Amino acid sequence: MIALRPIHILLLATLVAFGASLAAPFHLDDYALFSDPAITSPSGWWEVWKPLQTRPLTWFTFWINFQLGGRNSAGYHAVSLALHLAAVWLVYATLRSGVTGNDVQGGRPSPVAEFGALMAAAVFALHPIQAEAVNYVFDRGTLLATVFCLLTLRSWRREREWHAAGWFALALLSKEECVTFPVFLLLAARAWRPAMGVMFGLSAAAGARLLVATAAVRGSGAGVQAGIAPLEYLGTQGLVILRYLRLLVAPYGFTVDPDIRISHAWWAWAVILGVAALLWWRHRHGWWFAAGLILLAPSSTILPAADLAADRRLYLPMLAFAALAGLLLERFDRRLGVALAGVLLVLSFGRTQTWASEQSLWREAVERAPNKVRPLIQYARTCEPRLALQVLERAKSLAPDDPRVASERGRRYLEWGQPAAALGEFGRALALAPNDPQAVNNRGVALLLLGQKDAAVADFRRALRLEPSFPDAAANLKRLGVEVR
């Protein structure tokens, strides 16, 4: 009989915490995968590598998923769970002998003892802030990039520097948010190597490519299309990072859509950087706190994103924050560490239950951000039409000039069999956003249901003029037997 080692028990605990994700549906942008021909086409394996495709390796794995299991969500969640388990094992295996093997001198990281490495892996594995990355299929890129970054670190630790560079290249092809990992590696190793120069070059190239792609791809929601200026984003991120740190210490108050407002909270940055500097110079383990901020920097500094905060952005930085937690827990009775792991397991199990359905996920978001419009719209989509219209009435009172609310009300009226009422809502949405192809297409659908085919065709064609690749309008014209021109 094979005796279970503590790391095996931790992996089983991770399965308990997140195993229910296998039965969960898709969420948010997950559905967009199936409108991408590069994913659904048998020959799409080549399309995922096109020049403006960000995260091509991640997209390639989605293509494999679709070819093997179609739209069955279980297969996609199984890959996410397997990647998380791999990351947990790599965190433990890498940290138990230290990142560099050197004692703390001039800010170098501390080697982590066996129990500290196990506790670091437990915090990384079971902390509920990891639930979003594990349960959200679309964020597979974060999981893949983290696994490859950990393989990079492990190869570097074994003095296989060019292997490390190869692993890091795969990390960048999975998700570009790991571009600061070479900085982390340089500060950890305190020695320059030619392979490290290659990694910095790869990071620069990946960052430049991301800037081009987010500017060129319509609706990317990042960079110049984020809807927020870089300095505004930077100022707001001080509060966002303080929220992340609070959730790490007191893991309560999670939500898929936090109510973060644009602000110029430079005082928050002063606090964060002051604490980082103090810990770096005064605490023997303080290096790890600064390392976590370095790994978080790509998503939480000057490259804007439409979503101001997202818990999944902590997944890779948790390598550093979990290492710090493991080093601190070495000082205490081991029973305290086991108890903490048990509490985190229960909390993550609860978070996974929240992610088990669209309705529970967005009901929680509405409760945690009652004055934010997007959670109300998303929650309404999970409700039957009558209740949905009540929820959307509340959204309308909060944001009377938001075209998204009018569009969603129109869609629910269509589901309720009231195309005339829907036409009024779609017309309002179009008045608020005259050049939105979706609003034009929606009005065409309502006109068609009211028997006004010619007017509907005109709207579908106008939607295509506004966005030539708009699939809904093209499909509507095809169903009517009308030539797309």
**Residue 105: pLDDT band by 50, 70, 90 thresholds?**
very low
**Residue 306: pLDDT band by 50, 70, 90 thresholds?**
confident
The pLDDT of residue 47 is 84
The pLDDT of residue 93 is 92
Pairwise CA distance, residues 401 & 431, whole Å: 10
Where on the phi/psi map is residue 442: left (φ > 0), alpha (ψ -120 to 50), or beta?
A: alpha
Report all structural domains of the chain as residue ranges with CATH numbers, in order of start: 6-224+330-359 (no CATH), 371-479 (1.25.40.10)
Q: What is the mean pLDDT of residues 12-16?
A: 97
* CA distance to 307, 347, 377, per residue, from 367 (Å): 19, 18, 13
| Nearest C-alpha neighbor of 163 from the set 178, 147, 151 | 151
| Residue 376 or 283, more confident | 376
57-93 tens-digit pLDDT: 999 999 999 999 999 999 999 999 999 999 999 999 9
What tokens does 454 get?
Answer: 């010619």
Q: What is the mean pLDDT of residues 319-346?
A: 91
Q: What is the pTM of this model?
A: 0.91
Q: Given a cut of 80, is residue 442 above it in pLDDT?
A: yes
The pLDDT of residue 101 is 39
Place of tokens 């939105």: 436
Compute the CA torsion angle 118, 119, 120, 121 (nearest 10 deg).
50
| Nearest C-alpha neighbor of 148 from the set 123, 129, 165 | 165
Q: Classify 222 as helix, strand or coil.
A: strand
Q: Given a cut of 50, is residue 102 above it in pLDDT?
A: no
Q: What is the mean pLDDT of residues 34-50?
A: 85
Residue by residue, DSSP assigns 415-457 as HTT-HHHHHHHHHHHHHHSTT-HHHHHHHHHHHHHTT-HHHHH
Most confident among 113-117, 222-226, 410-414 (mean pLDDT): 410-414
Pairwise CA distance, residues 128 & 244, whole Å: 12
- Which helix (H) or strand (E) element contains residue 399? none
| Residue 25 or 103, more confident | 25
Q: Given a cut of 70, is residue 392 above it in pLDDT?
A: yes
* CA distance to 10, 289, 296, per residue, from 86 (Å): 12, 24, 21
Compute how many other C-beta atoms are within 10 angstroms of the C-beta atom of residue 295: 28
The pLDDT of residue 99 is 55
The pLDDT of residue 9 is 94
The pLDDT of residue 471 is 81
What tokens does 320 get?
Answer: 């550093």
Q: What is the mean pLDDT of residues 160-185?
A: 95
| Nearest C-alpha neighbor of 300 from the set 353, 254, 244 | 244
Compute how many other C-beta atoms are within 10 angstroms of the C-beta atom of residue 175: 27
Q: Which amino acid is at 132?
A: E
Q: If you average pLDDT over every residue of the chain, what do you get?
A: 90
Q: Given a cut of 60, is residue 370 above it in pLDDT?
A: yes
Beta bridge partners of 222: 305
**Residue 100: pLDDT band by 50, 70, 90 thresholds?**
very low
The residues, any chain, with a CB within 8 Å of residue 126's CB and separated by 6 or more, are 13, 14, 17, 341, 344, 345, 348
What tokens does 5 get?
Answer: 């080692």
Beta bridge partners of 305: 222
The pLDDT of residue 112 is 62
Q: What is the mean pLDDT of residues 251-262?
A: 93
Q: What is the mean pLDDT of residues 291-308?
A: 92
Place of tokens 């001198």: 105
Q: Classify 262 as helix, strand or coil.
A: coil
**Residue 106: pLDDT band by 50, 70, 90 thresholds?**
very low
Asked if residues 175 and 141 have their Cβ atoms less than 8 Å apart, the reply is yes
Q: Given a cut of 50, is residue 1 above it in pLDDT?
A: no
pLDDT over 90 percentage in the chain: 66
Q: What is the mean pLDDT of residues 315-335?
A: 90
Pairwise CA distance, residues 316 & 314, whole Å: 6
pLDDT over 70 percentage in the chain: 95
Pairwise CA distance, residues 329 & 335, whole Å: 10
Asked if residues 310 and 342 have their Cβ atoms less than 8 Å apart, the reply is no
Compute the CA torsion angle 30, 31, 35, 38 (nearest 10 deg).
20
Please name the residue ranges forming H helices in 355-418.
Answer: 358-368, 373-380, 385-398, 403-415
Q: Given a cut of 90, is residue 468 above it in pLDDT?
A: no
The residues, any chain, with a CB within 8 Å of residue 295's CB and separated by 6 or more, are 178, 180, 181, 184, 316, 317, 319, 320
* CA distance to 384, 408, 446, 470, per residue, from 426 (Å): 20, 9, 8, 18
Listed range (36-50, 260-274, 437-451) with the worst mean pLDDT: 36-50
The residues, any chain, with a CB within 8 Å of residue 208's CB and separated by 6 or more, are none
180-220 tens-digit pLDDT: 999 999 988 888 889 999 999 999 999 888 888 877 776 66
Q: Given a cut of 90, is residue 149 above it in pLDDT?
A: yes
